[in-house]
Amino acid sequence: MKLFENDWLAINHLLLKMYSQKENHLLENDAMQNLKYLIPYDKATFWRRNYNAGSLLCEPESIHFPMEDLKSRRITLESELPQVWVHFYEKCIVLRDSDFKDELTPSGSLYYLDLLTKHNIKFALTISLCHDNMPIGVLTLFREKDGVDFSDKEIYIAEQLAEHIACYCYNIYEIEKLKETDASSVNLPDIIAKYQLSAREVEVLQCLLEGKNASTICETLCITESTQKKHLSNIYKKMHIKNRTELFKILFS
């Protein structure tokens, strides 16, 4: 995808704005308002991963959505939000809602009825944010029914910005500090006993809880990448899961 000089200048201006400011919330940052020049949107939400409790999602932040509407029911990863919006990937992923229509129902139908339909929303672009292999949260941009769907070019621009936004969120929400609370909330002895994890598998699991990425795990445990992958595969197999998202769901349930 080719971007013009004006596009790159706008991206550079947005990043400069973002890194030169220190806000408490992503959507309070002027840079996110400037994002509208690159990817026009009518409304936006940001769901941050919860590192202080068992649920995987915090209460949302929003632009132009009444907070009482967003908080109208307790929403968690397993319940009413479409999975395409809230799946915690191990890297930044940009998803256009219309490309995943089959995945939005029935699990997402209540959310559409209660929020999107009520607010005249038709199109959504979701940016799943991850930094240093740690899930940060989900930023979703919305367009109303009288607009047009998000274009391939806008998806490409979002992909260029995603890791920067994730890094920014990592810093302003002080994820490094919260990871310690996150890890301490897990009842590791029960997990070890229930799934019969080996001593080495427990060490790998502890590294994951500390937010270490694959290369850091290998360095910490003095093992090769293939050995690290083997231990992780064994953990998944014993716990009857397929990825790190499902692992977090078990650990913090």
What superfamily in CATH does domain 5-174 come from?
Answer: GAF domain (3.30.450.40)
- The span from the CA of 143 to the CA of 122, in Å, is 6
pLDDT for 57 equals 66
Mean pLDDT of the chain: 80
Residue 55 clears pLDDT 60, i.e. is over it:
no
**What's the pLDDT score for residue 243?**
74
pLDDT above 50 (res 78): no
Q: What is the pLDDT of residue 79?
A: 55
Q: How far apart are CA 64 and CA 144, in angstroms?
A: 12
Instruction: Please state which CATH number belongs to domain 186-251.
Output: 1.10.10.10
DSSP β-bridge partners for residue 49:
57
- CATH 1.10.10.10 range(s) for the chain read 186-251
By the 8 A CB rule, do 228 and 214 touch?
yes
Stronger pLDDT, 27 or 253, i.e. the higher one: 27
Three-class SS of residue 125? strand
Task: Note the pLDDT of residue 106.
Answer: 45
pLDDT surpassing 80 at residue 56: no
More confident position, 79 or 132: 132
> What per-residue confidence (pLDDT) applies to 51?
64
Higher pLDDT: 135 or 42? It is 42
Residue range 162-181, pLDDT digits in tens: 999 999 888 888 776 665 55
Pairing, β 93-96 against β 121-131: antiparallel
According to the model, what pLDDT value does residue 117 have?
A: 80
Helical H runs in the chain?
5-19, 30-38, 67-70, 83-86, 109-111, 152-172, 175-184, 188-195, 199-209, 214-221, 225-239, 244-251
Residues of the chain with CATH 3.30.450.40: 5-174
Question: Residues 229-237: what's their mean pLDDT?
Answer: 91
Q: What is the pLDDT of residues 80-112, one digit of tens each?
A: 566 555 555 668 889 888 887 655 554 455 666
State yes or no: pLDDT of 152 exceeds 60: yes
The model's pLDDT over 193-216, given as tens digits with 9 standing for 90+, comes to 899 999 999 899 888 777 677 778
- Quickly state the pLDDT bin for 77 (edges 50, 70, 90): very low
Residue 104 confidence (pLDDT): 52
Residues of the chain with pLDDT > 70, as a percent, come to 76
Q: What is the CA radius of gyration of the chain?
A: 19
pLDDT at 251 over 90: no
